Structure 1
């Protein structure tokens, strides 16, 4: 018993050491493009979100986690700038209509995404594609006051999206790439403006940590006027609020997460094992009694009380003829001498007995009333036939 405790102690210490080592192990770089405001991974937007007060001094940053229609349809939305940075933006007719009301009232909306879907894409006639270049893609502005002497170069294919189709009668091009493809558009609606950018990755942490990335993002967002309110959309990109669950610490670390799962599995196994050991006694269930004999007795009693000998005789004849058809492939439509000869040959019974059996069957089949002696005689002949042919009723 003492040795067993030593083994348990050593195993526990090793397990604790492994968990501590896994917890303090540096996490590999996550290159997933999330564009979430609280993600500090390369393609999160943590830096941009927390620098909005530097870009728009004195502005109040408000997060919105509702659909575009519900946000712009709400009368509590103040005058300001609305920013959407997402992997994909899909607006229906009602979303776009409410957003245009907000823009026409003198506000600005900035949207950056890899693709646009739904009514907004159809209404503005925009289609996006990717630039498959062998070298890094570069961007720049059209405005001479913002245009850099040398194009902004971005690697890791973060700026290869562009507008392959657009309505030049409505859109104003304010940014292009090295191939003269449009990457940044503006639309005038009433007293406000709508800005569309095809390169959301240039606003991520990976890009903003470089000098030219930060400069490009600052100039792009400078098109938005100074305002008291800056609205950051979380709905289009699925950037749900931070998890406030007590278990968030476990699920944020892979080692602790597996420890949690192992503990749950161990608890379930323990519960099942205890249930099996302490299972209550199973009561003895008596098997069902064979009531076939009682059933036959009841049926026989019913037939005996009704005294319908003709019905019983006809049924016996029907069952016998069915037996001859099924087992010996005999045609029972004509019970003549030829049938008697075939019956004797196939069943092996005596020809005289076969003739006697068929004669009784032919006689009984046409009778409306059958006496007790006639029924008994028929039954004896049929039972004798079954006995000679070895049929046991199965």
Structure 2
């Protein structure tokens, strides 16, 4: 290998090492995907909320549901409590929404936190929503405040959104305002709608014997929001409207984040040890390709194996015996080979030829006793007759080959 090739190889290895070192040393990118999944610890996951929920409601049954609400609520009429949905957008569909509202009207609570709501739900509750940009408020972030003076009344800040959803039309006779967006005034010139001077982002409304709570601020339940003090008090204040004497059902079906990972590469690259093992393997493969490409394998000539002459030799000797009419010698060789076959394949001693031997041989070789006795009678007669003709020799050969073929059939079956 020339010095120039070695230099280029060393330069390539140094470049790869530098790239790997840079990738290793740079800070890990923050995943801002709005998953709202229970198991996600990313900023917009709900891992902290689900953990703190069990701390807040220590004496309340908290039931996590991975399936849609319709089949779950249809299986029994004894299900009661609060059903919580948290996601960037929850789309039920007409049939499922009717089932949820029917269940709510029986004295239960439906809690939905979403940036947008389906039209059927808004029409049923006589509501309407609108959005505002963060450029329309003072500063670069949205500020929220609970309206109940008995709760923690401090204004909380959320700075990771460029818009916020609010209820611009509400049924004031049946709706309670739980939270508003501060430092923003609504200029609504629509005479048919009910004007609200301060945007409302969380409302509570009676529905039959039950209650519906809608929050247009689902980010209040994310890890990023709760872990910034005093924001946790805002989330806890919203949870205080839930009846803790009944079970709480947490939905994990309507989530933007996956409940499981479909790609094995996700697990591989999110584990530090496995990720570097994968990188080292790739580097090793590259090095192998570089060095192995320099080798050239010569063509290996095909050497034909030597021909086995044993069969030809045996056939030649047999023809010599046959042409010289030494039938008796051929018969003796044939009989000796047949006895050797019995000893090696059927594991019987040929020292004594009696009735017991013939019965045992017939059973092991899949031949009848009559055929076996006929074969050995022929052998006995040929041993006594020194003058054999070709017809007697061919008959002996036929009997032996038939005997062997029956035994071969038995082995195959």
Q: TM-score range by the shorter chain?
A: 0.5 to 0.7
Aligned runs of 1:248-327 on 2, under 5 Å? 248-252=266-270, 256=275
Q: Distance in 2 between matches of 1:56 and 1:192?
A: 20
Distance 2:17 2:264 in 1: 21
Contact kept in structure 2, 1:250 and 1:257, CA below 8 Å = no
Question: Contact conserved, 1:90 with 1:118, CA < 8 A, in 2?
Answer: no
Q: 1:167 aligns with which of 171, 180, 200?
A: 171
Match of 1:195 among 187, 204, 213: 213
Cα contact 1:158–1:199 (8 A) shared by 2? no
For residue 244 of structure 2, what is the aligned residue in structure 1? 226
Distance 2:9 2:246 in 1: 63
Secondary structure at the residue paired with 1:89? coil
Counterpart CA distance in 1 for 2:11 and 2:250 is 53
Q: Secondary structure at the match of 2:97?
A: helix
Are positions 1:141 and 2:146 aligned together? yes
Corresponding residue number in structure 1 for 2:109: 108
Q: Cα–Cα, structure 1 residues 36 and 2, in superposed 2: closer, same or farther, change >3 Å? A: farther
Give the total of aligned pairs. Answer: 266
1:33 Cα offset (Å): 2.8
Moved more, 251-260 or 27-36: 251-260
Q: 1:57 to 1:158 in 2, by over 3 A?
A: farther
| Range with greater deviation from structure 2 (16-25 or 182-191) | 16-25
Contact 1:79 1:227 (C-alpha < 8 Å) held by counterparts: no
Distance between the aligned counterparts of 2:25 and 2:259, measured in 1?
26
CA shift for structure 1 position 23: 5.2
SS at match of 1:138: strand
Secondary structure class of the residue paired with 1:38: coil
Partners in 2 of 1:6 and 1:227 — Cα distance? 76
Q: 1:10 to 1:97 in 2, by over 3 A?
A: same
Alignment of 1:1-394 (within 5 A): 19=20, 22=23, 25-75=26-76, 78-131=79-132, 132-135=136-139, 136-146=141-151, 148=153, 150-157=154-161, 160-178=164-182, 179=185, 180-227=198-245, 229-243=247-261, 247-252=265-270, 256=275
Moved more, 80-89 or 26-35: 26-35
Name 2:373's counterpart in structure 1.
none
Segment drifting more, 17-26 vs 191-200: 17-26
Which secondary structure does the structure 1 equivalent of 2:211 belong to?
A: strand
Deviation by residue 1:310-333 (Cα, 9 ceiling, x = unmatched): xxxxxxxxxxxxxxxxxxxxxxxx
Report if the CA contact (8 A) 1:92-1:120 is conserved. no
Return 120-129 or 18-27, whichever deviates more: 18-27
**Which whole-Å deviations, capped at 9, do the CAs of 1:33-83 have from their partners, x for residues lacking one?**
332222222222221122110121133433323333233323288433221
Partners of 1:46 and 1:208 in 2: how far apart?
A: 10
Q: 1:134-156 CA deviation, whole Å, 9 max, x = no partner?
A: 324322233232261x4334334
Offset at residue 221 of structure 1 (A): 0.9
Closer/same/farther in 2, CA of residues 88 and 5 from structure 1, 3 Å limit: same
Gapped runs of 5+ residues in structure 1?
271-394
Q: 1:45 to 1:5 in 2, by over 3 A?
A: same
Counterparts of 2:102 and 2:246, CA distance in 1: 19
1:343 — aligned with what? Answer: none
Whole-angstrom CA distance in 2 between matches of 1:169 and 1:60 = 33
| 2:87 and 2:218 in contact (8 A); partners too | yes
- TM-score, structure 2 as length reference: 0.54
Identify the range of structure 1 (218-227 vs 94-103) with the bigger mean alpha-carbon deviation: 94-103
Q: Indicate if the aligned counterparts of 2:36 and 2:256 stay in contact, CA closer than 8 A.
A: no
TM-score normalised by length of structure 1: 0.56
Task: Identify if the C-alpha distance between structure 1 residues 162 and 141 changes in structure 2 by more than 3 Å, giving closer, same or farther.
Answer: same
Change over 3 Å in CA distance of 1:12–1:78 after alignment to 2: farther
By how many angstroms is 1:113 displaced? 0.9
Counterparts of 1:171 and 1:72, CA distance in 2: 26
Q: CA separation in 1, counterparts of 2:48 and 2:211?
A: 25
- Tell me how large the CA RMSD over aligned residues is: 3.9
